[in-house]
Chains A and B, each alone.
Chain A
């Protein structure tokens, strides 16, 4: 009987370990949103992806619907071609939706936000998102800001 108690303890231990692995898989890693098999893949080209990385989130109205699978360079247009996996349950996104590269907070990671268009035909496996907006690159924004403020303030030279 003593050996039976021991075996029960071992069974409990194994359950605990397996439960821990499950918690890690479903609570810590975001496997629940996009599984490996049940998703379809679309592409989008961007002039500049900024700091976007494979694995980044793809959201629609703030809800996570997929992940960035891969990023390559289109050898003809020299644009970044981003491959996106979207969960099969979101198979009604209009074909003319547009994709923007956004930043979570000031220092956060970059992700792709999709806003719905008006077409009836939905995005399907292999489609391409035509309307895209590149990442905001901080240097470019500062550059724009400097030029515009320079043209505005020609009467009073900007204090250094």
Chain B
């Protein structure tokens, strides 16, 4: 009984701390915006280094959808609608969600581990003692970089999955769907709202992942065990949050 209460209490306290931490990050953001160089360097380690995994995964996901969609659609003689099927599924759901899950695994965990280790090795304290605010110098640039990178990566994922190497490669090049109808059907049915939805989702996911990652890293216990736990919970917490938020956002934007 009291153990359960402790767990609930810890959970609520963690949630509360995370809110205060977010306020601190937002407070540090203006100072960070004055030093775009710091953000650029973080966009490199958070965004550019995630590019390969996003490009490859996007292609594979698009190819699988192409194969599966074709199998089903060809039974109704509707294989010309393959493009619509792939595009709708990717743009509305899989693009933002899969990108976010990969991003949490690739960039979120790296952020948490890096910040956790900086804390464990007194680097953050050393900065404080050099009168440099780690919130401004370390945390806020990483947070911002995650926020910027995620929608871009999601866009790249969508293009790879629908076009370049995904559904297009399988449907048009391999299975012989007409390229004209593949693209024209996509254009006829994907609306601007779908893209706005997709973009909104990826931005919200980017915000969530960056927030969870920097929070977990900054509050990690300064031991190797603490850092490994922070890394794990970053991936677990942000993945769960992404899926739950996806449901909420889809329901909210459903028309």
Contacts and interface: CB of A to CB of B under 8 A. Distances in A.
Nearest to A107: B78
Interface stretch (B36-44, B61-69, B109-117): B36-44
A141 interface: no
A49 to B, nearest CB: 17
Contact of B159 (A9, A20, A55): A20
Contacts of A27: 163, 183, 187
Nearest to A14: B152
Interface-central residue, A17, A24, A105, A109, by most chain B CB under 10 Å = A24
Contacts of B44: 6-7, 9-10, 13
Contacts of A23: 159, 163
Interface residues of A, number: 30
A64 B185 CA distance: 12
A109 B186 CA distance: 12
B192 A29 contact: yes
Contacts of A21: 151-152, 155, 199
A29 B188 contact: no
B220 interface: no
A21 to B, nearest CB: 4
A25 B78 contact: no
B179 to A, nearest CB: 12
Nearest to A18: B152
B28 interface: no
Given A30-B188, A64-B188, A107-B78, A17 B195 contact: no
B158 interface: yes
A127 B191 CA distance: 25
A2 to B, nearest CB: 11
A99 to B, nearest CB: 18
A1 interface: no
A31 interface: yes
Given A7-B40, A107-B78, A17 B153 contact: yes
A138 to B, nearest CB: 16
Interface string B182-213: 01001111111111001100000000000000
Given A14-B43, A20-B158, A107-B78, A30 B48 contact: no
A28 interface: yes
Interface string B63-91: 00000000000001110110000010001
A122 to B, nearest CB: 26
Nearest to A17: B152
B47 interface: yes
Interface string B7-26: 00000000000000000000
Nearest to B78: A107
Interface string B90-110: 010000000000000000000
Contacts of A108: 81
**What 3 pairs between A and B have smallest CB-CB spacing?**
A17-B152, A20-B155, A30-B187
Interface of B: 37, 40-41, 43-44, 47-48, 51, 76-78, 80-81, 87, 91, 148-149, 151-153, 155-156, 158-159, 162-163, 183, 186-195, 198-199
Interface of A: 3, 6-7, 9-10, 12-14, 16-18, 20-21, 23-25, 27-31, 36, 55, 57, 64, 105-109
Given A10-B44, A57-B188, A64-B188, 7 more contacts: A12-B48, A13-B44, A16-B152, A21-B152, A24-B159, A36-B192, A109-B189
